[in-house]
Each structure stands twice: as structure tokens, then as C-alpha cells.
Structure 1
Amino acid sequence: MKRSDLPLLLMLFPIAFAQFGCSTQNGKNTGVSAEATQESGWINLFNGKDLSGWKQVNGKADYRVEDGAIVGTTVTNSPNSFLATDKEYGDFILEFEVMLNNDINSGVQFRSISDPAVMDGRVHGYQFELDPSDRKWTGGIYDEARRDWLYPLSLNPEAQSAFKKGEWNRARIEAIGNHLTTWVNDIPVAAVIDDMTSKGIIALQVHAIEKAEDAGKEIKWRNIRIKTDDLKPREGHNAFVVNLLPNNLTEAEKAQGWTLLWDGKTTNGWRGAYKDKFPEGGWKIQDGELQVLESGGGESVNGGDIVTEKEYSAFDLQVQFKLTEGANSGIKYFVTEKENVAKASAIGLEYQLLDDERHPDAKLGRDGNRTLASLYDLMPSEKNKRFLKPIGEWNQARLVVNPDNTVEHWLNGIKVLEYKRGSQEFRDLVARSKYKDWENFGEAEKGHILLQDHGNHVSFRSIKIKDLSSNPK
């Protein structure tokens, strides 16, 4: 080698080094070079040395840098603490690694707000949940200080084993337009479609603690990077979708087999029970809502129940509903219209819709089997008050009838009861119910889906169905 060649080699060496994707951070190999990071469009939010670009906005927890990681430590007598970016981000893909104590909860805020003029500056907005408890909801999407759970991992149990206790875990958040998706260790976890907040801060949470012995426990984050241009969602995210946009279907939902059972505009696909057309009165379509109007006269005395024109045997049904104070209604299924009910509601299995606090039906029946989300007069729902939205707000009903006749009632992402049509247990329930005299009650091979007119003002929207039968009807 000639001496004159040395300067050229020294110039080329960094380029060759970058091509192999090697760099160091605090003396440790990170596996990704600064040059490669910039070339691929990624920007480091944490330099591995200090908290430049971050500021603490709530709480008293301690944040420090140690061994190339941000370390948050729990303290007593403090609300939730947040270390936030000093910039806001709209559309982005965020990746980071995290490790935390096995018995504390944490999270990473995104598109969140901390404004002294709102909630006295309390951080609120979307949160990537970090949950090492036996519940295993890491990667779920929580709405901090606002709407509570948007995507509990009860909706995607296969992803509950993605998080590894006591290890560094890789996390990914994609916030592109209205689409929010999460990954844990390359496993797809949550998918939410929502338009409440389009941009905001990113913040690392140290959760408040209740017991003094929990003080001093640590959460660690490292390799925090973000991409804001040329965003392309990672392929393969096929988890259940929580779509909070009214009467909307995403391409992902369509690919999973979902269709709108109501188009949000017309009466197409629906008719009055025992009738050949939609009721001329008693129902109204307004602002993307299908509303049964107040009549105060009891069951089916105004417009009457409405049913789907099609019949279904095995299906997954989603319905958003909004009750008024004291309201009573229901979602019935396997309605055959063969029974003579004479101006009463059609016969069928019923997902009860009720204001439990104000309607007397909640105290009738047996063991609460006429309360919200129950299998009416047969089986009570096991509800957690945390997952109930107040009267006047939208709640999400989900009703799953599997091909083996196992039926599930869900409320706001949580399964509240399960039974099997035609089983001895089911027939025993029927035998001591108001339906005991109806032959083969609830065991029809197929039937219509019904929205009940019980004389109270109730609104419906985002009615979707997925056919689960091997031979779609």
C-alpha cells in the first residue's frame, strides 16, 4: 500500500463501517449506526447520555440516565409521573425497548396533551400499556385520564404472551392518520381507529404507587427512535379492530370478513318485525344514528321492533348503542317470527339493553339476569363497572355465536357471559324462565337479528357483522 493511499482509505473507512450497521453508545454496540439510522429515516429521541429533548411534566418520580437507558423510579406521595418529549408528533412510527419490574404498571403516552389550561396540565391521551401482571395487557391501548380502555387485550388473547418478564422487550407504535396499531416483540397486538387526537407529545410514565414498599422500583427505556416521513405500516397486523369512527369499515376489517349491517343512512337491509317494510313511524335516522323514539307506551306500540332482512346462524355482531335515562331495549337473535305474540316484542334470545340504575327490570328476574348485557331472563352478565360508559354515552355490544352454538356476550371489549345453545344447562335455564312454554326456545338453526322498540329513546350505530358459518346464508 502506498502512503499516498492512506487518506483515501481513512475517508472510506467510516462509510464501510456504517454499511455494516455498527455503532457504539456509551461504549456498547447498539447494532445500528448513526449514519444508517439517518439514511433509513429514523431519528433518535434519546441520545443515550442525558435527557436532552425531554422534560418532566407531571409527578415527582425520579428519571435519570444509566448504562444507555432512561430509568424511571417509583416514589411515594406522587401522582402518575411523565417524562415528555419537548416536541409534538402527528403521524409517526415509534420504536423503543423497555424493561420493568414484574409487579408495577407503566406505559408510553403518544399523541397526548399536557396543557396548563386543560386539567391543570395533567397528561391525557393515548397510552401504550405496559402491564407485566398476570392480566398481561402489554401493548393494549389505554386512554389516560380521558376514556379509559380503548383496546384491552381480552380482544386479542393470542398477543398476551408477547411480553417477556424481566427482559428487554421491543415495542412499536404506528400512528398513521386515524390508524393506531401496536406491536410487542414483533407480534401484532392492538388496532384502534380513532380521530380524537391527531398530534401530541410522547411521554414515559412512572405510575403512582399505593404501597410504600413499592417505592424504588424501576422502569427502563432505551433505543427510542421515531420516523415521521415516508411511513409504511408493517404488514401482518390482522388483530381484531376497534373502530371508533361511526358506521365505518377499514380495509383491514373488510379483509377479516366484516360488513356493515346498517349503512348509516337508509333503512336498507331492515324491515319491521312481522312486516314487509320498515316502520313508517317510531324510528328516525339522524346524524348517522338509527334511533327508536320515545313513546312511553311499552313494547312495540309505536314503530315496533325492526329485524334484518337476512337470517344468520353463526356470526360475530358489533353494535354501538346509547341509552337515555331509564331506557329499556334489546338486541335479539335467532328471531324466526313464527310465534304469535300479538302486539308484543318478537320472541328470541336477547342481549339486554337497560339503564340498570333507573329501570325496575334490573331488579326483576333471577340473580340479575335482566340487567345490561345479560341473556335476558336466563343468565346474568358479569360486568366490571370500570368498563361501563355512563348513560348518554356510547357503549359497544358484541355478540358472538360460534358454529358449535357457543354464544358470547361482550360489553366494551370485555366478555361478560358465555353459554351453549341446546346444552342441558341452557335448557334448564329456559325451563325456569318466562320462555318455558315456548317449544325449543332459542334453538332455531338460523334467524333474524332484531333491534327492540320498548317505548324508550335508544340510538344505534356502527352495526357490523361477520359471518362465521361454514355455509353463509
Structure 2
Amino acid sequence: MKKNIILTLLFFCVASLGAQDWEPLFNGKNLKGWKRLNGKAEYKIVDGAIVGVSKKGTPNTFLATTKNYGDFILEFSFKVDDDLNSGVQLRSESRKDYNNGRVHGYQFEIDPSTRAWSGGIYDEARRGWLYPLTLNPSAKSAFRNNAWNSARIEAVGNSIRTWINGIPCANIWDDRTPEGFIALQVHAIENDKDEGKTVCWKDIRICTTDVKRYQTPQEHVAPEMNIIDNTISPYEAKDGWTLLWDGKTTDGWRGAKLSTFPTKGWEIENGILKVMKSGGAESANGGDIVTARKYKNFVLKVDFKITEGANSGIKYFVNPDMNKGKGSAIGCEFQILDDDKHPDAKLGVKGNRKLGSLYDLIPAPENKPFNKNKFNTAIIIVKGDHVEHWLNGIKLIEYERNNDMWDALVAYSKYKDWPNFGNLEEGNILLQDHGDEVWFKNVKIKELK
């Protein structure tokens, strides 16, 4: 609580500096400097505020600045009726060669629903959610329903950060669009009961001069999300993160049963490491790949995408010398699986071979935040004997190893005949070839003391 109060004070102190470097984006009287795009929802001026009015039968409507902005700090106040989703676009575009002029780009979310993701960052008509507030749950209480809220957006270089009422909400590192317009959104509606609901903005001002001088200190209360594939941001580097795969070469990896990287079965294409389809057999084509060195205590992040019916996995505490015969190398496994289409989902005990499970040992919940058609983020955290599996920001399972309960669990699994399974102090990290096409990128690790 004390830290939040200090950050809030810093926020207002920074905001009050250099008033001469701020300029209004809205004069309080008319919509000079703005233009409407895409939909036909109404924008009007009431008591010095821009009021957007929802309209059924029209797509998302945007009131956009006629100027583009690159690096800036934007401040405004907003209020929205319940049940009406909205947002503020930044560094956004509307081009004829992209969906016939559809507005696309970063969006500061305005969300009065019980989900409470106001202040999160959505990539409108492009990549979808970049920073849902599942990544920063403490910020979900920042927004106040049926009241005016203050907002701040800092877009400087690759860094985009947001605040509501002085509370840090979102924090991304991305380079997709370095500049574009700012726009106020009236979201499309489907229900008659939402016709005529309003979202309001006022006191809209922007700083584009000497922006770095007025940036809020990088406290990272809102955890940073690096969106740039296969890179380490300056903050990640400072925090101890390194790339396990560089996005271009096979450096740092070898076959689990080889001294070099496999000559077949794996491909690198456009920053994606692909295990290729070969009939569904376990480690029978290119074979599993493992890190060149071993790891003990760590946080591992891997983005993965499956093809239909695919099976694969991320293993840790792997001893590549334990199994020199057929099949996969032996280690604890974060299961990657198409639960709907692969038969392995119906095997095992109580779903312990489904996506996110500790394979054949501990089942992940049935209700998982998984998108079969997109990249998903697996996180494995190891602190001594304590291990956690996370998927897309949600913890799936946690367990303790090196104890009687663990040994009893192993004794009733397919690993019962492998000595000291899962109890190694350190081991290699493995990406599995199970004969199905699966994609990997953003393979990162932070070693813990």
C-alpha cells in the first residue's frame, strides 16, 4: 500500500511539471482536429466533454485525431455507462490496404464489466489482447464505475505504459507501430437495451516535447510484457532474463541423443522453431532437442502453438543419458496437447495427460485459458523442490518433489521404473518431437538463486 501511495504521488508530481510542454487535443467547444472513422455512432459535445453515443447496426466507430503522434504522454478523463465497452486508440492507423480502412492498433481498454480490464492494452483488429489485467490483477480495482476516471498513457520508443487514477495498469515493450493517430472508440452493440448509452472524455491533453523528461520512473509495478519476438528488453536483461533460443540459429541446443542438432525433423522459419509432422511417433524423426547446459532453479517461458491433433511437451530435470533407446528422453513434462483431437487426452488418470498437466502425474484443470489457433505462453517455475506450471498467466498446478508423497505418485505412473525420477538437483530443458507439427518461439529463462 505504501509503495502505491508513493507511486501515485510521483505520478501527480511528474504530471504537474512543465505545463508549458502540454497542449490540448480537445478545445472543449467543437471537434476541430478530429474526424470520424468506420462506424456511424454519434459524437457530440456536452458541458465541455466529448460524448460518444452507442448505435445499433453500425461497427466500431472512432473519433480520430487528424495528426499522428509517435512518442508522447497522453492524459484525459473518462466516464462510461455500465455494459458499454470502449477504449482509446494510440499509434493507430486506417489504411485502404488493411481491411478496407478498418482502424487498427494499440487500444487503452475501457471496461466497466465485472471482468474489470480497464487500462489493459488491446491490439484492435490486429493481434488481440497484448496486456489483459490477468497480468496485473491489482490494477483491476483502479477503475471506478459511474464516475470520472483519470488516465495516463506513456508511449516512448518501444515502451507503452498505462495508468488509471494514478494506479499502474499495463506495461508492454513492442515495436509494431511507432506512430499513428489517437482515437476515441464507441464500441459496436448488439442489444437494443444498450442503444443510446454513452462514453465521455474531457481534459484531453498531450505532451510531445522532451517526453523522456516527464516519464514516470520505471518501477515496473505493472509487470512488463515484451511483445517483440525472440528478444530481451532492457528491463528483462536487468531482471536476469536471457534467451534460450535466439530465433535464428540452433546455438545452445542439441539432439537429446546426439552431440549435435538433428539434421532433420526441425525447421527454423521467420523466428519460429518448428518440430515437423512425421506420423505421430515419439522421438522417432528428428528426435527431442535439449539445452546444451543444465539448469537448477529457474523461471522458464516458452510460447507454443499447436496444429490440429498435435502432441508435444516441454521437459525439465531431463537426464539425456537415462534413455538411449526408443522413445523420448526422460524428465518432468509440461504436456502440450490438442485435448479435443489427440487420443492421449483420454489416457492416464483423471486427465493427467492433458494440456498443461505434469504428464502422467498431476492433471491440470479442465477449464484452461488456451487458444488452439494462437500462440500460448507456458511458464515453468522451479524453486528447489517446489514447481509450478502456468498457462497464459494462470497457474495450473503446483507440487513438491523429493518427498514420500512424490515418490508414491511416481510409483503409480509410467515413470516408476526410472530411478530417482524427478528428484534430480538439476537437468537439461527439452522440447519434444512427438511426430506432430508444433511451433515454438520466445524461449526465455531467468535463473534463480
Which TM bucket (shorter chain)? 0.7 to 0.9
Give the aligned partner of residue 149 of structure 2.
Answer: 169
**1:235 counterpart (211, 217, 232):** 217
Contact 1:188–1:237 (CA<8 Å) still a contact in 2? no
**1:418 counterpart (371, 394, 397):** 397
Contact 1:322–1:459 (CA<8 Å) still a contact in 2? yes
Give the aligned partner of residue 273 of structure 2.
Answer: 290
Cα distance change of structure 1 residues 428 and 231 upon mapping to structure 2, 3 Å threshold? farther
Counterpart CA distance in 1 for 2:437 and 2:58 is 44
Pairing 1:351–2:331 present: no
Give the aligned partner of residue 301 of structure 1.
Answer: 284
Cα distance change of structure 1 residues 293 and 207 upon mapping to structure 2, 3 Å threshold? closer
Shift of residue 365, structure 1, vs aligned partner: 3.8
Counterpart CA distance in 2 for 1:284 and 1:114 is 36
Shift of residue 426, structure 1, vs aligned partner: 6.8
Counterpart CA distance in 1 for 2:321 and 2:411 is 20
Shift of residue 93, structure 1, vs aligned partner: 2.2
Structure 2 residue identity aligned to 1:234: T
Residues 27-80 of structure 1, C-alpha deviation per residue, up to 9 Å, x if partnerless? xxxx989xx74x22x221111122222222233433222222212233333332
Structure 2 residue identity aligned to 1:409: W
Shift of residue 174, structure 1, vs aligned partner: 2.3
Counterpart CA distance in 2 for 1:75 and 1:426 is 58
Give the aligned partner of residue 76 of structure 1.
Answer: 56
Residues 138-190 of structure 1, C-alpha deviation per residue, up to 9 Å, x if partnerless? 11111122221111111122322322333332222222333322222333322
Structure 2 residue identity aligned to 1:415: I
Give the aligned partner of residue 386 of structure 2.
Answer: 405
Contact 1:399–1:410 (CA<8 Å) still a contact in 2? no
Give the aligned partner of residue 317 of structure 2.
Answer: 334
**1:57 counterpart (25, 37, 48):** 37
The two structures, once aligned, show a CA RMSD in angstroms of 3.2
Shift of residue 346, structure 1, vs aligned partner: 1.6
Larger radius of gyration between Structure 1 and Structure 2: 1
Pairing 1:375–2:351 present: no
Give the aligned partner of residue 216 of structure 1.
Answer: 196
Deviating more after overlay: 422-431 vs 66-75 = 422-431
Give the aligned partner of residue 7 of structure 2.
Answer: none
Cα distance change of structure 1 residues 404 and 157 upon mapping to structure 2, 3 Å threshold? farther
Cα distance change of structure 1 residues 311 and 225 upon mapping to structure 2, 3 Å threshold? same
Pairing 1:396–2:396 present: no
Counterpart CA distance in 2 for 1:152 and 1:426 is 35
Pairing 1:85–2:69 present: no
Pairing 1:47–2:61 present: no
Contact 2:25–2:204 (CA<8 Å) still a contact in 1? yes
Give the aligned partner of residue 118 of structure 1.
Answer: 98
Counterpart CA distance in 2 for 1:368 and 1:79 is 42
Counterpart CA distance in 2 for 1:266 and 1:32 is 48
Q: Alignment length, in residue pairs?
A: 430
Counterpart CA distance in 2 for 1:440 and 1:186 is 51
Contact 1:421–1:443 (CA<8 Å) still a contact in 2? no
Cα distance change of structure 1 residues 114 and 438 upon mapping to structure 2, 3 Å threshold? same
* Uncovered stretches (5+) of structure 2, i.e. residues with no partner: 1-14
- 1:11-26 aligned at under 5 Å gives the runs none
Shift of residue 295, structure 1, vs aligned partner: 4.1
3-state SS of paired residue (1:65):
strand
Counterpart CA distance in 2 for 1:304 and 1:99 is 56
**1:95 counterpart (51, 68, 75):** 75
Residues 321-351 of structure 1, C-alpha deviation per residue, up to 9 Å, x if partnerless? 3444544321112223464462221222222
Give the aligned partner of residue 26 of structure 1.
Answer: none
Pairing 1:314–2:294 present: no
Residues 350-377 of structure 1, C-alpha deviation per residue, up to 9 Å, x if partnerless? 2223345554434444555434434333
Structure 2 residue identity aligned to 1:379: P
* Uncovered stretches (5+) of structure 1, i.e. residues with no partner: 1-30
**2:161 counterpart (164, 181, 196):** 181
Give the TM-score, by structure 1 length. 0.79
Residues 85-125 of structure 1, C-alpha deviation per residue, up to 9 Å, x if partnerless? 22232332222121223443211111222345532433222
Structure 1 residue identity aligned to 2:317: F
Counterpart CA distance in 2 for 1:406 and 1:162 is 32
Structure 2 residue identity aligned to 1:306: I
Give the TM-score, by structure 2 length. 0.83
Pairing 1:252–2:246 present: no
Counterpart CA distance in 1 for 2:97 and 2:272 is 33
Residues 204-255 of structure 1, C-alpha deviation per residue, up to 9 Å, x if partnerless? 1122333333333332211111223322142224133322322211111112
Cα distance change of structure 1 residues 318 and 216 upon mapping to structure 2, 3 Å threshold? same
